[in-house]
Amino acid sequence: MGGDFGSDVTIPASLQCLKVNSELTLILVGDEDILKKSLTQALLDYPDRLKIQHASQRVEMDESPSKALKNKKDSSMRVAINLVRDGKADACVSAGNTGALMATARFVLKRIPGIDQVAIISTLPSIYGHTHVLDLGANVNCSAKNLYQFALMGIEVVKAVNNIAAPTVGLLNIGEEDVKGNEQVKEAAKLLKASSLNYIGYVEGNALNAGSKKVDLIVTDGFTGNIALKSIEGAAKMIGTSLKAAFSKTLFSQLAGLITYPVLKSFKQSIDPRLHNGASFLGLRGLVIKSHGGADALAFETAIHLAEIEVEKKVTKKIIEKFEAIAAEKESM
């Protein structure tokens, strides 16, 4: 029921995913009447793979997380996360209120033992394909240990999504030299250097989209990560606006725009943010994926597809096992 467009987006996206992946079962959580009305045919088409779970409430997009947690115990978001907790679903995908989703997920699923902070990871388009980045806003202040744990969790997502064994990890900083950065970053660099991760050192902001070399995973605190993400969104919007303005300036430029339409379309597709939709909450005992609130059906499909990959590759289980191993190693020392 969440996001700016509710079931108008989530239903078509869900049906498309069911069509493409015959292994997939979806439980749509929300107002039963609304859902049943839209899904009459689909429930016949997918008698075993499409289910409806009623939830009498919905969290508004501007509702405060604490109020949602307290007053909306039967919200679609809460019921969906309960399904994950109870083992009835492998993941929850939501386009709803980010703060409320995070607060509810933390409250219902609890943190994995050994992990101090839950982080948000997603991909950004890059000249090399894409770059995974975390944290994107869950944690305003991060210690070196937090950053290190983010890297440990993040590479499990990168391994799953990119299908590679040893992803490269970079730390976001204001220069590549050792002396650069704040204390947290410098300490985190030491921890990463001493680890078994494929750590390549500090990277600057441009590495997110177009660095001099490919980096699979970039680690940063949630304050910087969120501002970098939004700055990139703003830059893309400005450039898009300028391009549009240039192509509508004169009659000639309008004609040129018509002629180059297929080229511009191919350009737009190459950096389409909808193909990078879906941010995973990492560090919880269950998988929750946040879709952009303004996602359309294609974008929401991408988020569901991300959940499919992470479930198939058992990302949460691998993170739990990794931190269990760390704890066991500490005890034996």
- Which of 164, 239, 327, 328 is in the footprint of a copy of itself by CB under 8 A? 239
Determine, following the binding rule CB under 8 A, whether residue 226 of this chain makes contact with a copy of itself: yes
- Which of 3, 30, 181, 286 is in the footprint of a copy of itself by CB under 8 A? 181
Q: Applying CB under 8 A, which part among 202-210, 276-284, 306-314, 317-325 lies near a copy of itself? A: 202-210
Helices (H), 120-221: 144-162, 183-194, 207-210
Site for a copy of itself in 247-306 (CB under 8 A): 247, 249, 252-253, 256-257, 259-260, 262-264, 266-267, 270-271
Is there a contact between 121 and 157 (Cβ–Cβ < 8 Å)?
Answer: yes
**Of 165, 171, 166, 129, nearest in space to 150 by CA:** 171
Determine, following the binding rule CB under 8 A, whether residue 67 of this chain makes contact with a copy of itself: no
**Of 299, 317, 307, nearest in space to 26 by CA:** 307
Q: Applying CB under 8 A, which part among 34-42, 148-156, 246-254, 311-319 lies near a copy of itself? A: 246-254
Determine, following the binding rule CB under 8 A, whether residue 210 of this chain makes contact with a copy of itself: yes
Nearest 5 degrees, angle CA 194-CA 196-CA 197?
A: 100
Determine, following the binding rule CB under 8 A, whether residue 320 of this chain makes contact with a copy of itself: no
DSSP for 186-211, written as a single string: HHHHHHHHHSSSEEEEEE-TTHHHH-
Separation CA 203–CA 213 (nearest Å): 10
Size of the site for a copy of itself (CB under 8 A): 57
Separation CA 99–CA 308 (nearest Å): 23
Q: How far is the CB of 214 from a copy of itself (least distance, A)?
A: 13
Separation CA 124–CA 101 (nearest Å): 22
Determine, following the binding rule CB under 8 A, whether residue 246 of this chain makes contact with a copy of itself: yes
Site for a copy of itself in 121-160 (CB under 8 A): 125-127, 137, 140-141
Q: Nearer to a copy of itself by C-beta: 71 or 253?
A: 253
Q: How far is the CB of 102 from a copy of itself (least distance, A)?
A: 13
Determine, following the binding rule CB under 8 A, whether residue 178 of this chain makes contact with a copy of itself: no
Separation CA 81–CA 314 (nearest Å): 18
How would you class 129 by CB atoms within 10 Å of its CB: exposed for 0-12, middle for 13-18, buried for 19 or more? exposed
Residues that bind a copy of itself (CB under 8 A): 125-127, 137, 140-141, 172-174, 181-182, 204-211, 220, 222-224, 226-239, 241-243, 245-247, 249, 252-253, 256-257, 259-260, 262-264, 266-267, 270-271
